[in-house]
Structure 1
């Protein structure tokens, strides 16, 4: 995972996790919703990038 994300990507992942933890301290339901939104967004972005790379013949 470190090779694909790089150091800046790992800092971003840590920042997202810390943010979710901070929200979870106040309200678990909202934190769960935010986690699901972020996971869904990640899947959509991955699918879009994979489709774009396939159309260019790179995958």
Structure 2
């Protein structure tokens, strides 16, 4: 799976995990943690879609 993600997807996973860690650390930074989670999810989805389009020869 990580091979299909590419570097952008791996960065997305790192950002996602950083966001989850931030939420678990302190309640005052819930907003920042959720923002990181959403940004990471967006990067993962973008990378997966790009990889899928490349496998079909469209990108």
Which of 32, 35, 53 is the aligned partner of 2:34?
32
5+ residue gaps, structure 2, are: 3-9
Offset of residue 23 of structure 1: 1.4
Of structures 1 and 2, the one scoring higher in RCO (CA 8 A, sep 6+) is 2
Q: Which has the larger radius of gyration?
A: 1
Does the aligned pair in 1 maintain the 2:19–2:36 contact within 8 Å?
A: yes
Ranges of 4+ aligned residues in structure 1 off by more than 4 Å:
none
Listed as ranges, the matches of 1:36-55 within 5 Å are: 36-55=38-57
Counting matched residue pairs gives: 45
TM-score (ref. length: structure 2) = 0.58
TM-score (ref. length: structure 1) = 0.58
In 2: Cα distance, 1:46 partner to 1:21 partner: 21
